Structure 1
Amino acid sequence: MKVKNAGRWAPRGARPWLYTGFAIAIASGIRILLHPLLGPIMPGTAFLIAAALIEYFFGMTRAIFAMVIGLLIADYLFVPPYQQIAVFDQSDLALLISYPLITIVVICLIERLRRAQFRAELIGQVAQSRYEMLLRRDNERVLADRAADETHRLMRHLPHYHDDIVLIKAFDRKAGAEARRARHDATAIAQGTRFDNVHPDDVKRLASMIHPGSQRVRITHGSAFRTITCLGEQFTTHAGDFLVFRVEEAS
């Protein structure tokens, strides 16, 4: 995976530059304290270590700045003749070649490692975010399926315990009226206890309805039919829309 922001791992602002100046000052102080013991030996080692630490914590720009300032301080204070800039000899040339070369190699390696680390952290955060999104969607799907199952179980349960229900049908709230009317035969999900008592033609008319309202239907009364009112009520749930048709009076 290509991460464009992998090179932007270093902190921004004025504080990193303050820490850079503090690190240069510490390196200079340590080298001054060791100068009576070391003399002209390894004049840039303390500054190399400071530049490496600055690279690890604050990035390449501050590390290169620390390297350049360290080179000037080391050449001026710790390369003989001391505290003279007019004389350029073999010691100055050795410091000018060896110190920047080694320091640049070290800070480039650290920069590469820090970018790889930051890239891995970004990829890990993206993967964690996607994993959480997948978990959330999976949980929502499971809850929706469970709610739909419970709703349909309730719709199947109601007709058995309410003797005035004729028919319960469901339809897709997102579908148009023509689409609902075209598949009305498939929308009836439950037959009530009064379903068999209603005239077949009236059952077809109820099954084709897509809006709530009152209808006059014929229902068996002995060996004949009598006309009564059938009320259609719409119920909207998270599992879908339902029309419940029930007679307003029991036989």
Structure 2
Amino acid sequence: MTHNLNSKRWCSNKSQGYVIAIFGVLVAFSMRYILHPFLGSSLPLFFFQINTILIVYLFGVGPGLFTILMSAPLMIFYFMEPFGVLSVVDQRDITTLFVYLSYTLLSSFLVELLRREQYNSKVAMLVSETR
């Protein structure tokens, strides 16, 4: 069927997704910054991962990758020890970033594939109803 070619079009407002992605990163940063006195250096990426997964679910992998690019520097500078200082990246920082990137990218691409399949099944249902 030719509707598989249109699977990338499941989200019609991706440009709006980039604006909402910026807002989502700001919200995630604010929540983590407010809880920073309680959390310290633990869970530096939790709120950013939730934001990225939600953005991918709603707007696709493009805006999701944009949130990753915005979140990583904020996370490194504000929520990884030493706080508020650009210092030499050590093994622990590399491990944290690897976990953040691998988990978030994997879940983002899986959500994108699921949304495409959902769109394909919706189009197939509409095509079958017209026949």
- TM-score when normalising by structure 2: 0.92
Range moving further from structure 2, 114-123 or 90-99: 90-99
CA distance in 2, matches of 1:91, 1:84: 16
CA distance in 2, matches of 1:69, 1:11: 23
Q: 1:83 to 1:114 in 2, by over 3 A?
A: same
- 1:18 maps to 2:28: no
Amino acid at match of 1:18: V
Identify unmatched segments of 5+ residues in structure 1.
131-251
CA contact (8 A) 1:55 1:62 kept: yes
Larger relative contact order (Cα-Cα within 8 Å, sequence gap ≥ 6): 2
Match of 1:61 in 2: 62
More strand by share: 1
Match of 2:123 in 1: 122
Match of 1:134 in 2: none
Match of 1:38 in 2: 39
Match of 1:205 in 2: none
- 1:83 maps to 2:59: no
Per-residue deviation at 1:109? 1.1
Per-residue deviation at 1:47? 0.5
Which runs of structure 2 are paired with 1:1-251 in the superposition (5 Å)?
A: 1=1, 3-12=4-13, 14-130=15-131
Per-residue deviation at 1:13? 5.4
> Which has the higher Rg, Structure 1 or Structure 2?
1
CA contact (8 A) 2:14 2:63 kept: no
Amino acid at match of 2:5: K
CA distance in 1, matches of 2:86, 2:126: 52
CA contact (8 A) 2:14 2:59 kept: no
| Deviation readout 1:51-75 (Å, 9 max, x if unpaired) | 0000000000000110121111111
CA distance in 2, matches of 1:105, 1:94: 16
Identify unmatched segments of 5+ residues in structure 2.
none
Q: 1:36 to 1:86 in 2, by over 3 A?
A: same
Amino acid at match of 2:55: I
Amino acid at match of 2:21: T
| Deviation readout 1:139-181 (Å, 9 max, x if unpaired) | xxxxxxxxxxxxxxxxxxxxxxxxxxxxxxxxxxxxxxxxxxx
CA distance in 2, matches of 1:13, 1:114: 14
CA contact (8 A) 1:75 1:95 kept: no
CA contact (8 A) 1:51 1:63 kept: yes
Q: Which runs of 4+ in 1 moved over 6 A?
A: none
| Deviation readout 1:11-68 (Å, 9 max, x if unpaired) | 3354221111111111001101111111111101110100000000000000011012
Per-residue deviation at 1:86? 3.0
More helix by share: 2
Matched residues, percent identical?
A: 29
CA distance in 1, matches of 2:59, 2:21: 8
